[in-house]
Structure 1
């Protein structure tokens, strides 16, 4: 038995067109040439197949009922299916109910109640990790929900174009990371990033990055939703200082694009 059109309308209406976990809008705006892109998915709480995550005893009608489905973005859908020990049936039902209550409250609340705040459960990074290989940057991208960047002003056009291409690639990978599952796809992503890191190093630019753990909070859910934010900076090597884990500069150390990964680049 398939999910009915009426059931889909109920699910999308209750969720307000947003992922029940990260609360991002799961429909992107259209363009002058293309229709909007939809990346929302109706995820089963109790799995349809006997061997699926959170499989249980539900008849066909109940399996595809709106009570057993929750609207998620593609990234969170994969996460709940990969981590059924954490995302149990009871937990997903609680997440769905809290999200539906939050959606209903939007019509009664003032705009701007959603905000990002630092997650008190994690130390906030102050020093950028020096990125010289594609693998560590790719791992940061996969663990992040959003992305911010910085680059210097007054660069030659050729250098600025290269940096913007690199940052655009990082943004693209942030958008599709959840859809790349195979070892080959992940390895190709690492190689794509490595290619740009090498080209930037040849022009004496350093790339630094960290993941800042944030929470998306509102007036109803003070616990907040984890919202890790990747920050990437590209700076001329002559403007950077190499430090240890504690932020102490190494004496007489010159910035280098080949510094071991455990050291840091501090703008």
Structure 2
């Protein structure tokens, strides 16, 4: 059997559209160009497959029943499946019940109010940092909750493929950074990023990045959820302006944020 549409509506309704663990809304706001992005997933408490995490003796109807499903963001869905020793059946049922009670306590939410706003507790960066090594970029990736990027238009196919591979790697690391806790795993990530930075430099491309401190708010008047946003831009070296913190030309301090020909978000 598969999870029915009715069951999905029950799960999302009980959870208020929020991850039961971090309580973040699992639908991002729409943009001027794109529909909202959904990163909520219905996670099984008792696994569907016999070899899955928290596998147990439930029949097919019960496995896909709303009582055996909990709404999680993609990050925490992966975590609970990777760490079944901690996230036991009893713990997940407790998490789900407490979250449902918390959601009911909020009352009716005002639709259409979910949005990202600058966090007033942090100054917003005005320039991109010039990234030449994997370590600084990895340290910017680790705390980030979302990722946006920009690249030039009308590039040779070989150059565009390389840039897209690099940006895809950055996006993948944003998704799994919280799961890479070992020193070796972190160092391997830095080396993988460094390899692409070196290849881009060989083709006369510069990489700039910054982290904007944002808050995900729902219009309820409550404090928003911290939502750091990483921005990465790849520019031909001939189109970049290197400046110091005061905006004065400088050979190796910062890359001024330019206006790209093509801009997208991930």
TM-score, length-normalised on structure 2? 0.65
Residues paired across the two proteins, number: 200
Q: Could you tell me whether the CA contact under 8 Å between 2:79 and 2:179 is conserved in 1?
A: no
Residue segments in structure 1 that go unaligned for 5+ positions in a row: 1-9, 29-36, 53-62, 72-92, 254-258
Deviation at 1:223, TM superposition (A): 1.7
Cα distance 1:202–1:21, how it changes in 2: closer, same or farther (>3 A)? same
Match of 1:27 in 2: 41
Shift of 1:222: 3.7
TM-superposed CA distance for 1:70, in Å, is 5.6
Superposition deviation, residue 157 in structure 1: 0.9
Mapped partners of 2:79, 2:159: distance in 1: 44
Compute the displacement of 1:17 (Å). 5.5
* 1:54-97 deviation line (CA, Å, top 9, x unaligned): xxxxxxxxx8485x5269xxxxxxxxxxxxxxxxxxxxx8x986
Secondary structure of 2:136's aligned partner: helix
Task: Tell me the residue number matched to 2:108.
Answer: 105
Q: 1:101 to 1:161 in 2, by over 3 A?
A: farther
Partners in 2 of 1:243 and 1:233 — Cα distance? 16
Secondary structure of the structure 2 residue equivalent to 1:210 = strand
Task: Give the structure 1 partner of residue 3 of structure 2.
Answer: none
Aligned-pair CA distance for 1:178:
1.2
Could you give the per-residue CA deviations for residues 100-136 of structure 1, whole angstroms, max 9, x where no partner exists? 545x524xx33x2101111111111110000000011
Q: Match of 1:149, SS? A: strand
Tell me the distance in 1 between the aligned counterparts of 2:144 and 2:79: 21
1:244-259 superposed matches below 5 A: 244-250=244-250, 253=251, 259=252
Q: CA deviation at 1:238?
A: 0.7
Aligned to 2:254: 264
Q: Write the distance in 1 (CA, Å) between the matches of 2:92 and 2:182.
A: 32
Contact 1:42 1:69 (C-alpha < 8 Å) held by counterparts = no
- TM-score if structure 1 supplies the norm length? 0.64
User: Following the alignment from structure 1 to structure 2, what is the Cα–Cα distance between the partners of residues 38 and 147?
Assistant: 15
Distance change (3 Å), C-alpha of 1:181 and 1:42: closer
Distance 1:200 1:216 in 2: 33
- What corresponds to 1:168 in structure 2? 168
For structure 2, which runs of at least 5 residues remain unmatched after alignment?
Answer: 1-9, 27-38, 43-72, 259-266
* Partner residue, 1:69: 95
